[in-house]
């Protein structure tokens, strides 16, 4: 008994002396985060007026009613220098009323605000990075009412990535305001191996560019940006999907739906694939000028529901038939989604006989068998109609880079 009292007392004293165990904020990104980010369209050319307009149109178009939530300011929101006390300063011309005013405006619309910074000494566009100022910056974000931090990896020298991201995670946690932590180190240091408890999502690739299957080389700086298919195939999908789950997602980068050379079908395919892969759904187009076609794609509730399904399982490639890739995704309540992607310049004829097909998700132990005793209803999610059941083969003509996305339910 004496021993018990001694050890109990010792534990109590130690627990008072030891600092609170830092962690990432729970209950954020239980499904992949959804929002809009400034970078793909505006680069560093952002300002208070633009962000307010984006928040207005966001709500007017009803993006919030289909699940989009965050307005994210990427690189370029800061002044070139910190102040004399080492604080980050919003760019005085672009954000004359500071970030708190923007956050208040965004919050008044029922939305949330995100900022960007970098683990290095400078951001990728040359603004002050957080290195050596992590706790100070986290306090500022909390004071301003920020809800999301994208944290980049430029100018990091010999920094250890895991340590650097843990430092910022701990700083955010210590600042006390729940802030979603979006890791952006491009997959260079295998974040899928160490970031589950560090961030809520991690980028798996270098920057996206607005084409379906190209690589764009940037002479200055000698780096590449990547089209949709290049990102899709950049890593082993099984390796990625095994680490993702509720509260921590593989981030395939901000979307280019509605941008660049992407056709209507390619926009659909891009959106559907990001949904199937449980990537954060972060729009990167100009919401004020997008076409009704693009609006229809990004607000398709059935496609969004695949991404936001509470089972939280990333889709996988089941097989390829000719030029048609078949991606599968187990959903809650025994439903499944299938995305038939014709990755080709030419038309392709899909004729998929479900009968006696067994699809297994080996990693997570899900399986579906289609036969005459196990018949599923089929819904075409882009057309928005039920198209029969799995008793008869699924037939379609798919154009260049076109998808057919179906959900099968009992």
What is the nearest approach in angstroms of ligand GLA to the Cβ of residue 158? 20
What is the nearest approach in angstroms of ligand GLA to the Cβ of residue 128? 13
In the complex with ligand GLA, the residue whose CB is nearer, 75 or 137, is: 75
Question: Would you state the structure tokens that stand for residue 199, as one six-digit string?
Answer: 């961030």
Question: Would you state the structure tokens that stand for residue 294, as one six-digit string?
Answer: 């693009």
39 binds ligand GLA (CB under 6 A): yes
Site for ligand GLA in 266-325 (CB under 6 A): none
246 binds ligand GLA (CB under 6 A): no
Tell me how far apart the alpha carbons of residues 59 and 111 are, in angstroms, rounded to a whole number: 9
| Residues 406, 390 contacting (CB under 8 angstroms) | no
Selected binder of ligand GLA within 74, 134, 170, 266 (CB under 6 A): 74
Cβ burial, residue 382 (10 Å; 0-12/13-18/19+): buried
Chain-centroid distance of CA 198 in Å reads: 15
Q: Which stretch binds ligand GLA (CB under 6 A): 51-59, 107-115, 119-127, 331-339?
A: 119-127
357 binds ligand GLA (CB under 6 A): no
In the complex with ligand GLA, the residue whose CB is nearer, 249 or 327, is: 249
Site for ligand GLA in 375-394 (CB under 6 A): none
**φ and ψ at 387, to 5 degrees?**
-125, 40
Q: Is 152 a catalytic residue?
A: yes
Tell me how far apart the alpha carbons of residues 337 and 359 are, in angstroms, rounded to a whole number: 11
125 binds ligand GLA (CB under 6 A): yes
What is the nearest approach in angstroms of ligand GLA to the Cβ of residue 75? 3
Tell me how far apart the alpha carbons of residues 251 and 29 are, in angstroms, rounded to a whole number: 12
234 binds ligand GLA (CB under 6 A): no
Sheet holding 336-342, edge to edge: 316-321, 324-330, 336-342, 403-409, 377-380, 385-389
Question: Would you state the structure tokens that stand for residue 375, as one six-digit string?
Answer: 């018949």
Question: Would you state the structure tokens that stand for residue 106, as one six-digit string?
Answer: 């965004």
In the complex with ligand GLA, the residue whose CB is nearer, 39 or 249, is: 39
Site for ligand GLA in 98-117 (CB under 6 A): 116
184 binds ligand GLA (CB under 6 A): yes
| Residues 131, 159 contacting (CB under 8 angstroms) | yes
Selected binder of ligand GLA within 48, 75, 256, 309 (CB under 6 A): 75
What is the nearest approach in angstroms of ligand GLA to the Cβ of residue 203? 7
Please tell me which residue in 152, 170, 309, 361 is annotated as part of the active site.
152
In the complex with ligand GLA, the residue whose CB is nearer, 209 or 300, is: 209
Tell me how far apart the alpha carbons of residues 269 and 260 are, in angstroms, rounded to a whole number: 15
Selected binder of ligand GLA within 207, 266, 286, 361 (CB under 6 A): 207
- C-alpha distance from residue 232 to each of 227, 277, 326 (Å): 9, 9, 13
69 binds ligand GLA (CB under 6 A): no
- C-alpha distance from residue 373 to each of 14, 253, 386, 390 (Å): 62, 41, 20, 11
| Residues 280, 182 contacting (CB under 8 angstroms) | yes
Q: How many chain residues interact with ligand GLA (CB under 6 A)?
A: 10
The angle subtended at Cα 49 by Cα 44 and Cα 55, nearest 5°, is 95
Tell me how far apart the alpha carbons of residues 132 and 100 are, in angstroms, rounded to a whole number: 23
152 binds ligand GLA (CB under 6 A): yes
Please tell me which residue in 207, 286, 309, 361 is annotated as part of the active site.
207
In the complex with ligand GLA, the residue whose CB is nearer, 225 or 268, is: 225
In the complex with ligand GLA, the residue whose CB is nearer, 72 or 138, is: 72
Which residues of the shown chain bind ligand GLA in the complex (CB under 6 A)? 39, 74-75, 116, 123-125, 152, 184, 207
Q: Active-site residue numbers?
A: 152, 207
């Amino acid at each position: 008994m004496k021993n018990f009292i001694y050890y109990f007392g010792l534990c109590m004293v130690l627990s008072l002396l030891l600092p609170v165990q830092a962690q990432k904020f729970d209950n954020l990104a239980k499904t992949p985060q959804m929002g809009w980010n400034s970078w793909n369209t505006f680069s560093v050319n952002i300002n208070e007026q633009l962000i307010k307009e984006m928040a207005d149109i966001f709500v007017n178009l009803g993006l919030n009613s289909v699940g989009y939530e965050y307005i994210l300011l990427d690189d370029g929101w800061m002044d070139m220098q910190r102040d004399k006390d080492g604080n980050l300063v919003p760019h005085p011309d672009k954000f004359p009323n500071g970030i708190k005013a923007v956050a208040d405006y965004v919050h008044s619309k029922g939305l949330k605000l995100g900022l960007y910074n970098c683990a290095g000494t400078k951001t990728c566009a040359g603004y002050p990075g957080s290195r050596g100022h992590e706790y100070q910056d986290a306090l500022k974000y909390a004071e301003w009412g920020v809800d999301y931090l994208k944290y980049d990896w430029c100018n990091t020298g010999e920094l250890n990535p895991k340590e650097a991201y843990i430092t910022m995670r701990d700083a955010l946690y210590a600042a006390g305001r729940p802030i979603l932590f979006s890791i952006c180190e491009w997959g260079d240091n295998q974040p899928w191996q160490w970031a589950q408890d560090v961030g809520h999502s991690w980028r798996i690739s270098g920057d996206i560019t607005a084409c379906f299957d190209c690589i764009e080389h940037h002479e200055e700086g000698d780096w590449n940006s990547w089209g949709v298919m290049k990102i899709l195939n950049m890593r082993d999908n099984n390796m990625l999907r095994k680490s993702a789950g509720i509260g921590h997602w593989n981030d395939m980068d901000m979307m280019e739906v509605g941008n660049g050379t992407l056709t209507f079908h390619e926009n659909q395919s891009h959106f559907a694939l990001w949904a199937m892969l449980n990537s954060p759904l972060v729009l990167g187009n100009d919401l004020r000028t997008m076409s009704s076609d693009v609006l229809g794609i990004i607000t398709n509730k059935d496609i969004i529901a695949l991404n936001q399904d509470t089972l939280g399982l990333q889709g996988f490639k089941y097989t390829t038939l000719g030029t048609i890739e078949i991606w599968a995704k187990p959903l809650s309540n025994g439903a499944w989604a299938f995305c038939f992607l014709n990755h080709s310049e030419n038309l392709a004829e899909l004729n998929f006989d479900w009968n006696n097909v067994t699809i297994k998700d080996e990693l997570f132990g899900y399986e579906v068998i289609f036969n005459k005793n196990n018949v599923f209803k089929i819904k075409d999610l882009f057309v928005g109609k039920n198209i029969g059941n799995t008793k008869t083969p699924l037939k379609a003509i798919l154009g260049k880079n076109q998808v057919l996305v179906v959900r099968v339910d009992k």
